[in-house]
Amino acid sequence: MRLSAPVYHLKRQARLLSRKEDVPLHEALDRMAFKEGFGSWSLLAAKAAEAAPAGRLLAQLIPGDMVLVAARPGQGKTLMSLELAVAAMKQGSRAVFFTLEYMHADILDRFRDIGVDPAVFDHLFEFDNSDAISATYIIEALGSAPRGTLAVIDYLQLLDQKREDPELMVQIRALRSFARERGLVLVFISQVDRSY
């Protein structure tokens, strides 16, 4: 299955179409699905979920691994990381999303963008957008996390934003040691700047 754009882009196009032509959103979504060769949006979403690479990637990870998800802005880093979190939660593991960028409502919307009802994972998902996020904070927050917990840190570059925090490499080393010791999987989102 090859789509002309990622699902979240198609969904955005459907929202714009819904507003422009004053049609219900479900009708606009179905139109987008039809253009992609599917009979309905629900079929497109189901097929896209089956083909998502997050499950395959998660299967290759072992407790203690660290993953870097990096790309330019707007390329789907956050959605890919959330797909990894969902794949982990489908296996019964906990997932924690640390961010200095998003509000809780934004992340719930992102879950919906990838076709997931966030209420299904209420008991396994934790969101943390404290201004104090740093390696020390993350280690304290995950101190009692069970083995196999997947934690997403959004964005890597923001960890040393405050002058009182250690430099980034020192924090990464501390997080690597902690992840290995506790058997956690850490996913770092990083923004790539291609301006020269």
Condensed to tens digits (0 to 9), the pLDDT of residues 48-78 reads 766 667 877 888 889 999 999 988 888 888 8
pLDDT reading at 160 higher than 70 = yes
Q: Which ranges constitute the DSSP H helices of 36-76?
A: 41-51, 54-60
pLDDT at residue 75 in the model: 81
pLDDT at residue 60 in the model: 85
Condensed to tens digits (0 to 9), the pLDDT of residues 69-119 reads 988 888 888 888 999 999 999 999 999 999 988 999 999 998 988 888 889
Burial 58-91 (b: 16+ CB within 10 A, else e): beebeebbbbebeeeeeebbbbbbbbbbbbbbee
Question: Could you state, in order of their start, the residue ranges of all structural domains in the chain?
Answer: 7-51, 54-191
pLDDT at residue 32 in the model: 92
pTM more than 0.75: no
pLDDT at residue 52 in the model: 64
pLDDT at residue 194 in the model: 67
3-state helix, strand, coil split of the chain in percent (to 5) is 50, 15, 35
Q: What CATH code would you report for 54-191?
A: 3.40.50.300
